[in-house]
Amino acid sequence: MSACVSGCTIRGMHAPDCDGTSTDRAGQLVECRGCLPRPAEDGACLCSWCVGRLTSTVAGLPALADHLRLMGEPSVSSPSGHTDAGSSARPGEGMLYPSALVALDDLHAMVAMWCAEVAAERGVPSPPAGLTRWTVPDGDGDVEPIGPASPGATACLVEWLAPHLEWVTAQSWAGDMLADLASASARALARWPMVEPDRRVTDVRCPSCGCLSLVVSPPATVGASATVRCSLPACGRTLGEEDWQHTRALALARAQTAATAGAPS
């Protein structure tokens, strides 16, 4: 069985040659929390977790694009865009261009490039050209995407891309697409968050440490999955959607068994 091309590992599981330590980004020796590669799904190059992450990331792009457009609209308090700490001049334009719209342009251009890659490698018609603004052709006739041609254009690209995602997961570059889109989405959400409060779970225990310490973080974008994690620093367990459903089902079954056992005969 092949390993996931994203390079993700299984928490708490270690490769045979692991000595229990790892090196962090600063070059410091730290405890290895898990280095056994996560296996890819049958017929795919991504593991089940990464397949779900790619699907939810792509599904959330239209809502994120709408959010960035809203953040970039001028307001009385911020003529260059809502909640925007600063503006940048777009190349070739003599006006202030809100940073949120710069992020939207970059995100849309990235999606357009990946759509072009899928169309070329799979041999299918490309998305409509009218969805994207392109640069003027260079000396070789090549053009680059700049951003959406109109509101809703990113959603149209996603609508075109979504049916091809199953095929994408079987390609060697699937991990690169996931890394690009997930990182771009995370950067945009870090600067222009779509905030909803976390919810502490009071009736389901963490499957790792056994404490009532689970916290549910609502999805940042429409179509994404909620994140469930243990809030105790010593544990920090994160549950995928399948693990969370399984954990809830076990807790419900135990509660029903206890209730039945305590009921008067």
How does pLDDT run along the chain (265 residues), one tens digit per residue?
Answer: 688 888 888 777 888 888 878 777 777 888 887 777 788 888 889 988 888 889 989 999 999 999 999 998 764 445 555 544 433 334 444 447 789 999 999 999 999 999 999 999 999 999 988 999 988 888 888 889 999 999 999 999 999 999 999 999 999 999 999 999 999 999 999 899 876 667 888 889 999 999 999 998 876 555 567 788 898 878 888 888 888 888 989 988 888 888 777 666 5
Task: Give the residue carrying structure tokens 């089940």.
Answer: 48
Q: Which of 22, 134, 81, 262 is nearest to 126 (CA)?
A: 134
Distance CA 133, CA 109 (A): 9
pLDDT in tens, 34-69: 777 788 888 889 988 888 889 989 999 999 999 999
Distance CA 246, CA 263 (A): 26
Task: Give the residue carrying structure tokens 């994408």.
Answer: 168
Q: What is the pTM of this model?
A: 0.65
Distance CA 61, CA 43 (A): 26
Sign of CA dihedral 32, 213, 50, 26: negative
Distance CA 49, CA 57 (A): 12
Distance CA 33, CA 111 (A): 33
Task: Give the residue carrying structure tokens 């700049």.
Answer: 146
